[in-house]
Structure 1
Amino acid sequence: MTRYDLGPTNAIDNVNQFRRPLPVCESRGRTLKIRIKEVARGRYEVVAFGLDLPMGGRFPFAYLDADPEMVKGWIDDLHQTWSTQVIEWQDPATEGPEANYRRPFTDAVDLSDVAGTAVERMWHAVAAAGYQLFWQLFHNGGPALQALGEEVRTALWRREQVVTFTSNDLVAPWSMLYVPRDGWHAPELGNVDPEAFLGFRHLVEHRFEREYDLDADIRFTGKRINASAYYDERLDGPGRGDTPTAVAAPVVATLARLSSTHKATTRQTVGDHLTGDGAAAHLVYFCCHCVPSLNGEAYLRLPGDEDEGLISAGDLGFWIGKAGGLRSSPLVLLNACQSGRLITASASQLGAVLLQRGAGCLLAPCVNIPARFAAAFAEDLFARILPAGRPLGPAVRSAVRAFAGEKRNPLGLTYSLYQGIDSHFCQMENPDGLAAAGR
């Protein structure tokens, strides 16, 4: 044996109580970071760093001159397009007594059988709206913002990027933005490239500015994670036009098969669980309606003691706060209409308060998500991340591509991911006391 035959090996890890080494958890360096901060009324500072962004001898920042109401209006325009052209769109050729109940793009998950011209018009509408918002945020300004926007656009087509948007002041549905390949021009009808959507081509997340580091490892012991399923049983039954739906039950059954699942179906039982054992769950799944209020806040709706049990951001913050916060940095999936539509880091918003109270990551739709698609997306996602522990970001992107591909359904793009590209379920030790050998 020569000295060249001796290679380094890691057979034992003395710092882990002389047990086998812990698995090396997968993580991804961010290749594109964009930070947006309101520096004065009507002005945002936009800073971008990335492996493919040329510095050019200057600090990579620019100013977006727009007040919060203007930005909110731009984002509302995008959501309105998705609402009218996808969620509520009716085929004008539909006839019969149930014509007013038929929504071709929401009544089915697989749109490959819908008339090709209708699907092309729908894809064109959402692509044009996504391009408009991208232009408004990254090209609608002075020379510095235009130069920065062009560098960002070019980088997004140089390779697949791992993108983090960081802001407490401006939250946009980044995955729904459409970035043209060949310059600043709107997409043409019949020539929409799905890869131009940020959420289709890239790994994308939004983060709020925080004073501590985030931990992507959702650690658990034993063979299964602990999950909480909070859902409205009334979702399973007659839907629009008396068409039967199966929304909550199939997904909860899938979750129960892949995890140790606690179920709660009323406002009271959700509150009781979150103030106790529920605060230690590794996965929290809400499946219910989300109801907007006149003051701009939103409420989750579950059956209550009387008629309806509305759950506010304040309720969630109080319940979780009493339990000392969400202790396992869980994945939270809010499968409720517009629950992912955050505007700022305000604790008056459902998603924001969950993140502030310890959620490791949050995934939620920005639009009125159709019931059938919500169920199909959740089942697909759970199958990808449980029990293997695959990182959430790639799993979400794979789900988006699966639905947008053969099924021609773009609704996966409407799920916004908050601080969750690397989040995954990390098995720390097996029941025999030995560290897990890997994932």
Structure 2
Amino acid sequence: MNLDTRATGEADEAEEVALSAPQDPSRRYRLLAEAPACGPRELTVCIRCPSEAVTTIVLWGDPEVLPQPRTSSCYAVLETDAEEIRTLSARLISRWQEFVAYQPSLRQGPLDVKPYTHLADLSGRPAVEVTAQVTELAWEGQYLLDELLAGDGRELAEVRRRLLEVLGLRDLRIRFDSDLDIPWPLLAVGAGPPATGGPPGGDPFATFLGHRHQIEAGADAYPTAYWYVSGRTRPTSSIQWDEELTGTPLATDVHKLLDDRTELTERIHGTELLAALNQPVLDEDLMYFFCHGEYARQGDRTWRNLRLSDPVPIDASMVDRYRKRHTEANARDATPCLFHPMVLLNVCFAGAPATAGYAGIAAAFVKHGALGVLAPHIAMPQVFGAEFALRFLTRYVVEGLPAGRAVLETVRWFAAEYRNPLALTYSLVCGLDSRLFTDPQEGPTTP
């Protein structure tokens, strides 16, 4: 048999054979060995409580920002005990809740009845009134930071000096990896008492850590050494909301933004959400919640629930129960189990410190794979919550900013344009670098 095509007169041309993969075992994702989307943090503050009697603090970061001592590390034992720090944190959050419920002494009309509950834009309120309120909140945040670092020990004094110097800078990327659940964005540096008009020659808004820096809190979850990168040209998202809140101003604008820019799934019942959480693959890039949150109590224990349009209460333990077997199977057997959303919990108290014996719902989502969770520490006015979501999601979904930068720009926008500090109460748990990728060829980059 002659295989020489020239001898047989056949054309000597290469023939293209179309190849296709009938199956896609990666489910259109790459599983990366490292996490290139996690850029470096200029500062990491690590607080550990091996016992109620001992609390330690360690600092490390970019040598240009925080040079390490030649003979040791930036380490100290805190002299303020853990229980007092928890109490001061709860007190600070309660002060912000009092700000929401502020009642002017002289009422001049319906808009003066607890005005901060139904106005997102406070620029029309008397400047002296708003500045005094914000200055008081900043001073409270400064007080908590001072008490956290109070003490006379030599090592503690050095850590305090170094940390306050770094926090006094601007535009750093900071992770607070702490056993103590502290509302870090609400802490402040350089704040003064209201009697002096706040910081000399400065704006009290600019003293808050959440206004100065990109901040994330660590979560009590297994270390994640991989990163999912979407191969889709159009992100997927879901909106979980209570039908009672759909009439809130700008709520439909948020829905339209997600519907226009993403493949949107809508859920209005808790049973629908639990059915989705029960699936091994919940392949969504963004999960948005706009519903009611509450504290539940049994005996001397309290925990937080959220509810959609039905009476089914959903808490951290329920999220854990529905996702646990999938997460464990994925870690043990490499079973396909995709759950990697950025979660925005526009739910009252969803970001508040966890109560004794219970994990926070934000940490529960991160534990099972969420890239990050953004949630408020307080009972958030519905009008402001919808406005915040629209501003943040515009930056995150439309402009493609990483979550940390999107939060910071949203906080600064509300401070400059609306003179409203409530954006500071939204705390980011992990997710500083989380962002949407809409180009399959686009890889994660360090912001």
Provide the residue aligned with 2:95 in structure 1. Answer: 81
CA contact (8 A) 2:135 2:193 kept: no
Of 122, 128, 141 in structure 1, the residue corresponding to residue 133 of structure 2 is 122
- Report the CA distance shift for 1:346/1:165 in structure 2 as closer, same or farther (over 3 A): farther
What's the secondary structure of 1:369's corresponding residue? coil
Provide the residue aligned with 1:7 in structure 2. Answer: none
| TM-score w.r.t. length of structure 2 | 0.81
Matched, 1:269 2:268: no
Partners of 1:64 and 1:344 in 2: CA distance: 22
Provide the residue aligned with 1:61 in structure 2. Answer: 75
- Report the CA distance shift for 1:438/1:145 in structure 2 as closer, same or farther (over 3 A): closer
Provide the residue aligned with 2:243 in structure 1. Answer: 233
CA contact (8 A) 2:392 2:406 kept: yes
Offset at residue 214 of structure 1 (A)? 4.9
Structure 2: 5+ residue stretches without partners: 1-34, 331-336
Q: Residue 301 of structure 1 aligns to which amino acid in structure 2?
A: R
Provide the residue aligned with 1:282 in structure 2. Answer: 285
Q: Residue 180 of structure 1 aligns to which amino acid in structure 2?
A: G
What's the secondary structure of 1:228's corresponding residue? strand
- Report the CA distance shift for 1:174/1:277 in structure 2 as closer, same or farther (over 3 A): same
* Aligned length, in residue pairs: 393
CA contact (8 A) 2:131 2:204 kept: no
| TM-score w.r.t. length of structure 1 | 0.82
Offset at residue 106 of structure 1 (A)? 2.6
Residues 144-293 of structure 1 mapped to structure 2, 5 A cutoff: 144-167=155-178, 169-180=179-190, 186=193, 188-191=196-199, 192-208=203-219, 210-215=221-226, 219-237=229-247, 245-246=248-249, 248-276=251-279, 279-293=282-296
Offset at residue 350 of structure 1 (A)? 1.1
CA contact (8 A) 2:303 2:354 kept: no
What's the secondary structure of 2:176's corresponding residue? strand
Offset at residue 374 of structure 1 (A)? 0.7
Provide the residue aligned with 1:372 in structure 2. Answer: 383
Q: Residue 316 of structure 2 aligns to which amino acid in structure 1?
A: A
Offset at residue 343 of structure 1 (A)? 3.4
Offset at residue 253 of structure 1 (A)? 2.2
Q: Residue 183 of structure 2 aligns to which amino acid in structure 1?
A: P
Q: Residue 302 of structure 1 aligns to which amino acid in structure 2?
A: L
- Report the CA distance shift for 1:61/1:319 in structure 2 as closer, same or farther (over 3 A): same
- Report the CA distance shift for 1:271/1:158 in structure 2 as closer, same or farther (over 3 A): closer
What's the secondary structure of 2:237's corresponding residue? strand
CA contact (8 A) 2:303 2:355 kept: no
Q: Residue 233 of structure 2 aligns to which amino acid in structure 1?
A: K
CA contact (8 A) 2:54 2:81 kept: yes
Offset at residue 177 of structure 1 (A)? 0.6
Q: Residue 222 of structure 1 aligns to which amino acid in structure 2?
A: R
Q: Residue 309 of structure 2 aligns to which amino acid in structure 1?
A: P
Partners of 2:243 and 2:229 in 1: CA distance: 30
Provide the residue aligned with 2:47 in structure 1. Answer: 36
Provide the residue aligned with 1:298 in structure 2. Answer: 304
Offset at residue 379 of structure 1 (A)? 0.8
Offset at residue 123 of structure 1 (A)? 0.7
Of 47, 56, 65 in structure 1, the residue corresponding to residue 58 of structure 2 is 47
What's the secondary structure of 1:403's corresponding residue? helix
Q: How big is each residue's C-alpha offset from its partner over 1:399-421, in whole Å with a ceiling of 9 and x where there is no partner? A: 00000112101111111111111
Provide the residue aligned with 2:18 in structure 1. Answer: none
What's the secondary structure of 1:65's corresponding residue? coil
Partners of 1:395 and 1:349 in 2: CA distance: 23
Q: Which moved more, 1:139-148 or 1:256-265?
A: 139-148
Partners of 1:428 and 1:254 in 2: CA distance: 19
CA contact (8 A) 1:345 1:352 kept: no
Of 310, 314, 327 in structure 1, the residue corresponding to residue 313 of structure 2 is 310
Provide the residue aligned with 2:371 in structure 1. Answer: 360
CA contact (8 A) 2:374 2:428 kept: yes
Partners of 1:223 and 1:388 in 2: CA distance: 15
Offset at residue 117 of structure 1 (A)? 1.4
CA contact (8 A) 2:289 2:345 kept: yes
Offset at residue 75 of structure 1 (A)? 0.4
Matched, 1:321 2:327: no
Partners of 1:162 and 1:312 in 2: CA distance: 30
Provide the residue aligned with 2:28 in structure 1. Answer: none
Give the CA RMSD over aligned residues.
2.6
Offset at residue 428 of structure 1 (A)? 5.9
Offset at residue 258 of structure 1 (A)? 1.3
- Report the CA distance shift for 1:257/1:346 in structure 2 as closer, same or farther (over 3 A): farther
- Report the CA distance shift for 1:437/1:331 in structure 2 as closer, same or farther (over 3 A): closer
- Report the CA distance shift for 1:278/1:117 in structure 2 as closer, same or farther (over 3 A): farther
Offset at residue 54 of structure 1 (A)? 4.0
CA contact (8 A) 1:290 1:301 kept: yes
Of 106, 125, 130 in structure 2, the residue corresponding to residue 93 of structure 1 is 106
- Structure with higher Rg: it is 2
Partners of 2:398 and 2:231 in 1: CA distance: 13
Partners of 1:218 and 1:283 in 2: CA distance: 13
Partners of 1:218 and 1:104 in 2: CA distance: 44
- Report the CA distance shift for 1:318/1:40 in structure 2 as closer, same or farther (over 3 A): closer
Provide the residue aligned with 2:3 in structure 1. Answer: none
Q: Residue 300 of structure 1 aligns to which amino acid in structure 2?
A: L
Structure 1: 5+ residue stretches without partners: 1-23, 238-244, 430-434
Offset at residue 259 of structure 1 (A)? 0.7
Provide the residue aligned with 1:15 in structure 2. Answer: none
- Report the CA distance shift for 1:158/1:354 in structure 2 as closer, same or farther (over 3 A): closer
Q: How big is each residue's C-alpha offset from its partner over 1:136-185, in whole Å with a ceiling of 9 and x where there is no partner? A: 11234534323211211112234532111112x2121111110118xxx6
- Report the CA distance shift for 1:298/1:386 in structure 2 as closer, same or farther (over 3 A): same
Provide the residue aligned with 2:430 in structure 1. Answer: 419
Q: How big is each residue's C-alpha offset from its partner over 1:327-378, in whole Å with a ceiling of 9 and x where there is no partner? A: 2421011110110113389664211211111111111011111111111111
Q: Residue 82 of structure 1 aligns to which amino acid in structure 2?
A: W
Partners of 1:287 and 1:415 in 2: CA distance: 14
